[in-house]
Amino acid sequence: MTAKATSESSWQQDVIDADGPVLVDFWAAWCGPCRMVGPILDEIQSENGDKLTVLKLNVDENPNLAMEYQITSIPAMKVFNRGQVEKTIIGAKPKFALEQDLAAYIG
């Protein structure tokens, strides 16, 4: 199972009203590091889907959300829980480093 896309139209339902923690990957198609981290997040989703939902938000297609959450560089990942940002991860990282960053949610 791979991370599904979210957008401004589904944001409230997908992220704010979600049951449990949601990691949102703020990315863009032209971003090389974003393309590197994407498959890693897909693996984390497939291995931990019962604990953490991973969603992707294309910042070019959803500029208002990127601005609202102060995304100034990508890839940027934010973990939302009960509609609030609990953790921010900036930049592409190897799987073990992302798993360490997410240990509170997937550990």
Calculate the average pLDDT of the chain.
96
Q: What integer is the mean pLDDT of 64-75?
A: 97
Q: Which two tokens stand for residue 4?
A: 């599904």
User: Residue 2: its pLDDT value, please?
Assistant: 77
CB 58 within 8 A of CB 29: yes
- The model's pLDDT over 74-96, given as tens digits with 9 standing for 90+, comes to 999 999 999 999 999 999 999 99
Question: Looking at the domain that runs over 4-100, which CATH code has it been given?
Answer: 3.40.30.10
Closest residue by Cα to residue 55 from 17, 107, 103: 17
Paired strand residues for 55 = 4, 24
Reported as a pLDDT band with limits 50, 70 and 90, residue 107 is confident
Looking at the annotation, which residues are catalytic?
31, 34
In the chain, where are the structural domains located? 4-100
